[in-house]
Chain A
Amino acid sequence: MAQAINVEDLNIFYGDFLAVEDVTVTLQPRSVTALIGPSGCGKSTFLRTLNRMHEVIPGAYAQGKVEIEGQDIYAPGVDPVNVRRRVGMVFQKPNPFPTMSIRDNVLAGVKLNNKRLSRSSADELVESSLRGANLWEEVKDRLDKPGMGLSGGQQQRLCIARAIAVKPEVILMDEPCSALDPISTLAIEDLIHEMKQDFTIVIVTHNMQQASRVSDRTGFFTISGTGKPGHLIEIDETEKMFTNPTEKQTEDYISGRFG
């Protein structure tokens, strides 16, 4: 179910602007990969190319190869909609659908796609997804209340439940805890730990403790200056990255001597 992602010679553009240059990397299945780096170095941009969400922005495109299960998702004829069904995404800001109840938010991937589910299998899916996102106990009595009525941390877990309800193979998370308090953050970190049994997870974070707590491997992106493209400098076991990185730039960044 979980799949490795092979990225080869990936260049990512916003119109004429080359935002990320020449990334070649393999992201391991059933593990958590954290991406760290200074603001503006292209972490979000790179992450969004992994499920073809990047091209949603007008003028944005990517060149190169991203292989999931040996299939290049940028090959001609590949439908980005199918890619996104296999590679789910959790955003920095919780974004539940304001017109939907908690239950409908979890079922959004099914309902918005006009698929039919029997009442009982829908109930099952709602419960298992909310349990998977550690939210079931908190909301089981108010599933029909609006999703926007939850706290920020609950909303973010609702978004995670919504993402896992479509049963993807890979889950991308862009700073999922940046708007949350430490307790909700811990809840989500625990969740990430459990989820890596089933999914390949890629998470962008600015919090190095978080990266070291949740991830198996860590990748470091940086830019050499404004207007220059971002590069993946180094990626390795998290343990090694934080104790004994190969590159001087990584060491400087991790020890706070950046810039």
Chain B
Amino acid sequence: MSAAPARAASSGLLTGSGASERRLPWYHLLVTALASIALAAVVLVLLDSFSIGALVVLGYVLHLVVGYSYARAREGRRWAADRLVTLLVLGAFAVAMIPLVSLLWEVVARGLDKLLNPYPGYFFTHDMAGVVGGMASGGISHAIVGTLLVTLGASIISVPIGLLTSIFLVEYATSGPLRVLGRGITFLVDVMTGIPSIVAGLFGLALFITLTGDPGIRIGLMGSVALSVLMIPTVVRSSEEMLRLVPMELREAAFGLGVPKWLTIVKVVLRTSIAGLTTGVTLAVARVIGETAPLLLTVGALPLMNSHLFDGRMQTLPTFINSQYRSGNAVCNSETVTNPITQMQYACSTTINYDRAWAAALTLILIVMILNIAARLVSRFFAPKLGR
């Protein structure tokens, strides 16, 4: 190892002809990695505390030393530093992936079975009417419809308000008193970003109680209003950034052709930034679609399908998960349970509530994923065309 710097120095020409300056093929590092893991395994067995987790961690730490020393001896100081930093970055990446992967794994492992049995789609097409105790039936059709409707309502309220606000901030609040007003709005939007979701729920509840005078009122629209309080600031902020990215030259090009300002905004600014705007709106939707607290307060819960956004309680996925999980283990006194409405008999399962909760969680993740994919397709479709 001590010879390496000397050799590196002696061959320190730009050509890098010396062996110590040449980058070795990747499998050299694979060999050192395997050696490190083997070493770690030996150490762990000797200490009598072998486990896969400990092996990976110790092997990684050992390889920081082994790989670096090897690279330092064979490849020189600069490549060794490169190897070391690459290893550290990979390590950080792996650590960052742990929660994500384990979460997905956990949800799929616990939820998938329920989505596929008794047959795929059963869970999506049935509600919880008459489902009692450990009855191994029931589904979330009502909760899916509720979540989609409430979130759609929130989007219909938030997207126009948010988008118009950001247009005002970027295109109109540029000088004079409007600029001062714009600063004030930006400040309020920042404050709104920090509102706890439960407070948004209380706002929705209080608003409708005040309007109707009925303290027990629960309707889907109230949830939409509460969620839009959370959604508007996100939409304003992301759209504002996207609109500011549109180069001033494009606006001037349109003005120079005698296009009025409002048409320039609609047909040039919005058209150019629509890909980014869609992404921003999707992120805002993903942000609120899993909200639980405000919906518990405003929309309540209902075991049946209710697709009237303007009338009565609704079930939503997050509140469904919450209530199922809180019900805990069911008690099974006999092999089967009878649905009091349909008179059908079903098997009894003690873990059914947990199963439903996890399956609903998986469904929620799937919905968000589908939304993201749809947004990507929209972005790609509208993205400015640069090629020939």
Contact = CB atoms under 8 A, between A and B. Distances in A.
A101 B385 CA distance: 8
18 contacts: A56-B251, A56-B252, A84-B257, A84-B258, A91-B256, A99-B382, A99-B384, A108-B259, A112-B267, A113-B258, A113-B259, A142-B388, A146-B385, A148-B386, A149-B386, A149-B387, A162-B257, A163-B257
A255 B13 CA distance: 49
Which of B251, B258, B384 is packed against the most chain A CB atoms within 10 Å?
A: B258
Interface of B is mostly: helix
Nearest to B261: A81
A98 interface: yes
A85 to B, nearest CB: 3
Nearest to A159: B253
A58 to B, nearest CB: 4
B53 interface: no
Interface string B344-388: 000000000000000000000000000000000000001011111
Contacts of B388: 142, 145-146, 149
Interface residues of B, number: 29
B259 A98 contact: no
A88 B255 contact: no
A166 B258 contact: yes
A146 B386 CA distance: 6
Nearest to B254: A112
B263 A114 contact: yes
Q: How large is the interface on A (under 10, 10 to 19, 20 to 34, 35 or more residues)?
A: 35 or more
Interface of A: 51, 53, 56, 58-59, 81-86, 88-89, 91, 93, 95-99, 101, 108-109, 111-114, 142, 145-146, 148-149, 159, 162-163, 166
A98 B256 contact: no
B386 A53 contact: no
Interface of B: 174-176, 179, 247, 249-260, 263-264, 267-268, 271-272, 382, 384-388
A202 to B, nearest CB: 14
Which of B179, B252, B253, B387 is packed against the most chain A CB atoms within 10 Å?
A: B253
Contacts, number: 97
Contacts of B255: 53, 56, 84
Given A84-B257, A93-B249, A166-B258, A99 B263 contact: no
Contacts of B258: 81-86, 109, 113, 166
B169 to A, nearest CB: 13
Contact of A108 (B247, B257, B382): B257
B249 A91 contact: yes
Nearest to A114: B263
A149 B387 CA distance: 5
Nearest to A147: B385
A113 to B, nearest CB: 6
B175 A84 contact: no
Contact of A112 (B247, B259, B386): B259
A146 B384 CA distance: 9
Contact of B257 (A101, A109, A142, A148): A109
Contacts of B382: 99
A96 B257 CA distance: 12
A89 B382 CA distance: 28
B186 to A, nearest CB: 16
Given A91-B249, A93-B249, A98-B272, A112 B257 contact: yes
Contacts of B384: 98-99, 146, 148
A53 B387 contact: no
Contacts of B175: 58-59
A95 B257 contact: no
A58 B174 contact: yes
